[in-house]
Chains A and B, each alone.
Chain A
């Protein structure tokens, strides 16, 4: 009977250790992998606090701001939310739907006092499906303020 009990105890212990390890794995990975979304205005307010953090920035590509370095895949552009602008650089192929005057989300590590180097650029996917942040206030605000300047 003691042997039986010991075995059952062993089973329960193994179970607890495995569950514990798995949950620890889930939660440590989880907190590391959260990427917060900011508008250019928010970033200017919190630039030093965000230093070294992985973030997403959403807004519109400022019309006329896209600059391609000749014969390279280097691009630079401004992301605007209507009230402030943020310079972004990126090296690589831009997505099909990347346009001036269109919504964009860029992801990368924020370095206080340096231009933002994007590791990933996401453009609006289609009319029906788009990255979550694309419908955010930042873009709507940008569109409204641009309409205002046109009027």
Chain B
């Protein structure tokens, strides 16, 4: 029974040896002029994937077999844990998550070796070696400093169980999506490095990895929003984003990746920003690594706890340093090749490329803001005796203006022409959207939105919406005239012609929906803490809530106190059942299960607290306007990326020729 873990462990060790082959063989192939060695490196990449799959299967099988002689299994499962969570507890803790990370990396390395083999023969050896080196680094960490394969003797009779907060579908889906995002950036990074090494400093690496970048970005977006949604319904504090270091860690690479795939368009079109794009992809990958390490090393819970396990800390610091020195060192060495090939300069404040420049500025300052707020407390604690925390007010104060600036750019950027904007175009394209935005400002004021940020956001959202719809309409109309087609089929043809552009615009609209959610739930949330006796009612918004009685509920691994709350609005009557759960095994901590009723305009969110007096009960009730728009918006963004992913490479090539 416990043979599984040993098979897995052995496979992981064998994979370690094979990654060295994947790293060395292609380089030897180039050095000795023996292409067959490069082929060996490719086969090694496939072998590593196979072996790491066995390693993951070994850990998973140990969970399914309740093999508590495995330390990791004993720490994150119990006999009562439902099979659904048993199978996915692999990524319920540090060690297993890192194994999942390195497995995904080996998967992507193998896919890259398979798909790009014949199309990118020059870069391939370097891509294999760089991805091999990254897998090697992570495998060393997994095997020797953070091993999920370690055995306990004597084995305990039962495990400590999975933390109840993690016994949720959110845990099953959130980490893998996040890691798909983090790891996905490794491939564009490897191609960028390969381009620098081989001296092909044009835009080939960007075209080659366009789909990888989009895919990674989409996964990261879904992962982040999934995490936010999970926090929203599971943690019971009525919000979804707390600027917690763990959240920030995933947000930083998202910001720089967003900057990256906007600024690559300037390189494709005008040949500008070459060094900058390389800088951005390196930074994105480095921040992905930083994110993994911050969350998975324990450094966040305490610098001191981290320092008690110096092996892991030192390894991680050395690994990060090596990658940063290698990447930025290479960038500096090759800086001469990157210069002088650009087609002209950026001359004009009002053109598409300038809009991209400002977009990048805002996103990178945003990433710096988050980095400062996340790492500063760690630095203070390491260097001095005092401890400090940076609260949400800092992030909100900085991010709301940044978001408004981004909205403004999003409103004007996509319809500004490249190079320069003639005054006539400006008037023609912005007169109506500008008026709509002003009308929104006035309308919002009349409707009683007093908050200046709320008003500004409303006006800017309307600006974005009207410029985007106008752009779509202009394109459709031109096509209707030219082809004599109906509106719908013209629209369909328009979108099919340039899926990348319209995918991008759809993503913008998705973000717009999310922004509406941020503003609604951020500025207009209502919260109430109160005590209710059975039979008593309270009001929040248009809802009337009555605490009917206390009940109880149970499943095979938990019992709960459950309040029955009747919610009425007009003729609509609902029964809400917020709970306080206690899981049977090991950990006696109660967990809060909020009762949430979602409508398209608002969420009603009810949490119960401790008993008060004989029969009373503490309640916390929230009315969260538009919060569901955050989740829907992210779905629309996902669809936009999907559309853009279907764009073949043909268009980019013809465009490059035209430009």
- Interface of B: prevailing SS: mixed
Considering only residues 31-52 of chain A, those with a C-beta below 8 Å from chain B are 32-37
Report how far A6 CA is from B312 CA in the complex, Å: 55
B613 touches A7 (CB 8 A): no
Q: Smallest distance from the beta carbon of B97 to chain A beta carbons, Å?
A: 12
A71 touches B616 (CB 8 A): yes
Which residues of B lie under 8 Å from residue A64 when comparing CB positions? none
- Whether a CB of chain A sits under 8 angstroms from the CB of B335 is no
In the complex formed, the residue of A with least CB distance to B392 is A33
Pick from B305, B347, B592, B609: contact of A4, CB under 8 Å:
B347
In the complex formed, the residue of B with least CB distance to A138 is B387
B300 touches A132 (CB 8 A): yes
B388 touches A37 (CB 8 A): yes
- Whether a CB of chain B sits under 8 angstroms from the CB of A92 is yes
In the complex formed, the residue of B with least CB distance to A71 is B613
Which residues of B lie under 8 Å from residue A26 when comparing CB positions? 365, 368-369, 372, 398
Q: Smallest distance from the beta carbon of A61 to chain B beta carbons, Å?
A: 14
A11 touches B347 (CB 8 A): yes
In the complex formed, the residue of B with least CB distance to A5 is B347
Which residues of B lie under 8 Å from residue A93 when comparing CB positions? 529, 607, 609-610, 618, 620
In the complex formed, the residue of A with least CB distance to B368 is A26
- Whether a CB of chain A sits under 8 angstroms from the CB of B474 is no
Which residues of B lie under 8 Å from residue A114 when comparing CB positions? none
- Whether a CB of chain A sits under 8 angstroms from the CB of B547 is no
B163 touches A126 (CB 8 A): yes
In the complex formed, the residue of B with least CB distance to A8 is B347
Interface size class of A (residues with CB under 8 A): 35 or more
Binary contact track B57-97/A, C-beta < 8 Å → 1, others 0 = 00000000000000000000000000000000000010000
Considering only residues 373-416 of chain B, those with a C-beta below 8 Å from chain A are 373, 376-377, 381, 386-391, 393-394, 397-398, 401-402, 405
Q: Smallest distance from the beta carbon of B622 to chain A beta carbons, Å?
A: 12
Which residues of A lie under 8 Å from residue B587 when comparing CB positions? 126-127
- Whether a CB of chain B sits under 8 angstroms from the CB of A2 is no
A22 touches B362 (CB 8 A): yes
- The interface-forming segment of B199-207, B220-228, B353-361, B635-643 is B353-361
Which residues of B lie under 8 Å from residue A32 when comparing CB positions? 393-394, 397
Q: Smallest distance from the beta carbon of A44 to chain B beta carbons, Å?
A: 17
Considering only residues 48-106 of chain A, those with a C-beta below 8 Å from chain B are 56, 68, 70-73, 91-94, 96-97
Report how far A130 CA is from B301 CA in the complex, Å: 6
Report how far A134 CA is from B348 CA in the complex, Å: 53
B398 touches A94 (CB 8 A): no
B397 touches A92 (CB 8 A): no
Report how far A26 CA is from B364 CA in the complex, Å: 12
A18 touches B393 (CB 8 A): no
B386 touches A37 (CB 8 A): yes
From B346, B357, B397, residue with most partner A Cβ within 10 Å: B397
User: Using a Cβ–Cβ cut-off of 8 Å, how many residues does chain B contribute to the interface with A?
Assistant: 56
Binary contact track B132-173/A, C-beta < 8 Å → 1, others 0 = 000000000000000000000000000000010100000000
A11 touches B369 (CB 8 A): no
Which residues of B lie under 8 Å from residue A22 when comparing CB positions? 361-362, 365, 401-402
Pick from B368, B377, B398: contact of A29, CB under 8 Å:
B398
B349 touches A35 (CB 8 A): no
Which residues of A lie under 8 Å from residue B305 when comparing CB positions? 135
A14 touches B589 (CB 8 A): no
Report how far A19 CA is from B358 CA in the complex, Å: 9
Report how far A133 CA is from B388 CA in the complex, Å: 9
B372 touches A135 (CB 8 A): no
A136 touches B387 (CB 8 A): yes
Binary contact track B627-640/A, C-beta < 8 Å → 1, others 0 = 00000000000000
Total contacts A-B at CB 8 Å? 131
B346 touches A11 (CB 8 A): yes
Which residues of A lie under 8 Å from residue B358 when comparing CB positions? 15, 18
Pick from B301, B365, B386: contact of A19, CB under 8 Å:
B365
Which residues of A lie under 8 Å from residue B93 when comparing CB positions? 128
- Whether a CB of chain A sits under 8 angstroms from the CB of B612 is yes
In the complex formed, the residue of A with least CB distance to B377 is A132
Which residues of A lie under 8 Å from residue B29 when comparing CB positions? none
B301 touches A33 (CB 8 A): no
Which residues of A lie under 8 Å from residue B580 when comparing CB positions? 96
Q: When A15-B361, A18-B361, A73-B529 are in contact, do A30 and B390 touch as well, CB less than 8 Å?
A: yes
Q: Smallest distance from the beta carbon of A25 to chain B beta carbons, Å?
A: 6
Report how far A139 CA is from B590 CA in the complex, Å: 22
In the complex formed, the residue of B with least CB distance to A28 is B397
Report how far A97 CA is from B163 CA in the complex, Å: 13
B388 touches A19 (CB 8 A): no
- Whether a CB of chain A sits under 8 angstroms from the CB of B332 is no
B388 touches A35 (CB 8 A): yes
Q: When A23-B365, A126-B589 are in contact, do A35 and B398 touch as well, CB less than 8 Å?
A: no
B387 touches A37 (CB 8 A): yes
Q: Smallest distance from the beta carbon of B78 to chain A beta carbons, Å?
A: 14
Considering only residues 567-600 of chain B, those with a C-beta below 8 Å from chain A are 580, 587, 589-592
Q: Smallest distance from the beta carbon of B147 to chain A beta carbons, Å?
A: 17
Q: Smallest distance from the beta carbon of A99 to chain B beta carbons, Å?
A: 9
Report how far A68 CA is from B531 CA in the complex, Å: 13
Which residues of A lie under 8 Å from residue B304 when comparing CB positions? 135-136
- Whether a CB of chain A sits under 8 angstroms from the CB of B654 is no
Report how far A28 CA is from B52 CA in the complex, Å: 48
A96 touches B591 (CB 8 A): yes
A36 touches B397 (CB 8 A): no
- Whether a CB of chain B sits under 8 angstroms from the CB of A10 is yes
Which residues of A lie under 8 Å from residue B118 when comparing CB positions? none
B398 touches A25 (CB 8 A): yes
Which residues of A lie under 8 Å from residue B346 when comparing CB positions? 8, 11
In the complex formed, the residue of A with least CB distance to B358 is A18
- Whether a CB of chain A sits under 8 angstroms from the CB of B198 is no
Q: Smallest distance from the beta carbon of A107 to chain B beta carbons, Å?
A: 8
Which residues of B lie under 8 Å from residue A129 when comparing CB positions? 301
A96 touches B401 (CB 8 A): no
From A35, A68, A130, A133, residue with most partner B Cβ within 10 Å: A35
* 5 A-B pairs in the complex with CB atoms less than 8 angstroms apart: A19-B365, A36-B388, A37-B387, A132-B302, A132-B377
Shortest 8 CB-CB distances between A and B: which pairs? A33-B394, A37-B387, A93-B609, A29-B397, A135-B302, A11-B349, A22-B365, A92-B529
